[in-house]
Amino acid sequence: MQNKISKALLRKKFSIIDNPIKPKWIKVKIQTDKINEIKKTLKSNRIVTVCEEAMCPNMSNCWAKSHATFMILGDVCTRACSFCNISTGKPNQVDHTEPIRVANSVKKLKLSHVVITSVDRDDLKDGGAMHFSNTIHEIKLKCPNTTIEILTPDFKNKKDSIELLSRCQIDVFNHNLETVNSLYKIVRPGADYKHSLSILKNIKKLNPKLFTKSGIMIGLGEKYSEIINLMDDLRNNNVDFITIGQYLRPTRYHHPVIEYHNPDYFRKLYDDAMSRGFKIASSSPFTRSSFHAEDDFKKLKNLTLNA
């Protein structure tokens, strides 16, 4: 009960804090080609996408290119992160037909690279790891040449979940830190910075062939030095790829935007990331974990082949 009260008070506090004026570089270009086709396919297979649930600003751009990030295990999360627009509450039971429906959608859309993510499912013994595994298996049965990237929750206190996923036919393992360590209690309540780092470290140990990836949002009130420290933490845990994007407030009840950073700021962060040994870094106002995921995976693969 205390967590629910605290959350309500926090949301009330957020609602009276205004964002700074949105700058000119925060603009979204709407594209309509292929969007209706994707919507029809997803609807017919009863598929949820994080693109819609999280109100991603890149949705029309990605969907125009037949890119979409599938969100499995329902659309209700057991956590209440202050930046996220996905509903919080008691999730429905796991739909065991979902892996097949996701695979059918991947085949119908002729996706050569697919990103699979999920809500946090703290109610499940394995946090949903087996459902991830089943979904990956079904995709590979129907689309053996499709490469797969998973963006996972932290599976906190869920034994053997990471070991299970390390044995799956995936190409990229992504787990987002989301923000710097000092902001975790207000931005990612229920999560733990060091635990998230350990996930990225352990999956690499279990399967060294996997590319590992993590992303953050900036503009939440973090210091530049904290972002640099986060980069160093990721590299110390052998993470290959970092994404850095501008936080955009979903509603007035979510964490406010403390600052909009200009493109030059993002370019400097890109240079800092590459100088620290990341194989790839993506840093821009509209960068998101799954934005240009296929192109970035191809770059990673080519870098490895040419190494």
Nearest CA-CA partner of 152 in 162, 143, 144: 162
Determine the distance from the C-alpha atom of residue 265 to the mean position of all C-alpha atoms in its chain, rounded to a whole number.
22
Residue reference for tokens 């299970």: 164
229-233 mean pLDDT: 98
Farthest CA pair distance, the chain: 55
pLDDT: is 225 or 75 the higher one?
A: 225
pLDDT, residue 108, reads 87
Q: Are 113 and 147 in contact (CB under 8 A)?
A: yes
> Domains in the chain, ordered, with CATH?
27-306 (3.20.20.70)
Q: Which residues are registered as beta bridge partners of 88?
A: 77
Strand duo 113-118 + 147-151: pairing: parallel
Render pLDDT for 190-206 as a digit per residue (tens, 0 to 9): 999 999 999 999 999 99
* Backbone torsions φ then ψ of 149, nearest 5 degrees: -120, 130
Place of tokens 């962060």: 269
User: How many CB atoms within 10 Å of residue 98?
Assistant: 21
Percentage of the chain exceeding pLDDT 70: 77
pTM: 0.84
pLDDT tens figures, 270-305: 999 999 999 999 999 988 887 677 778 888 778 777
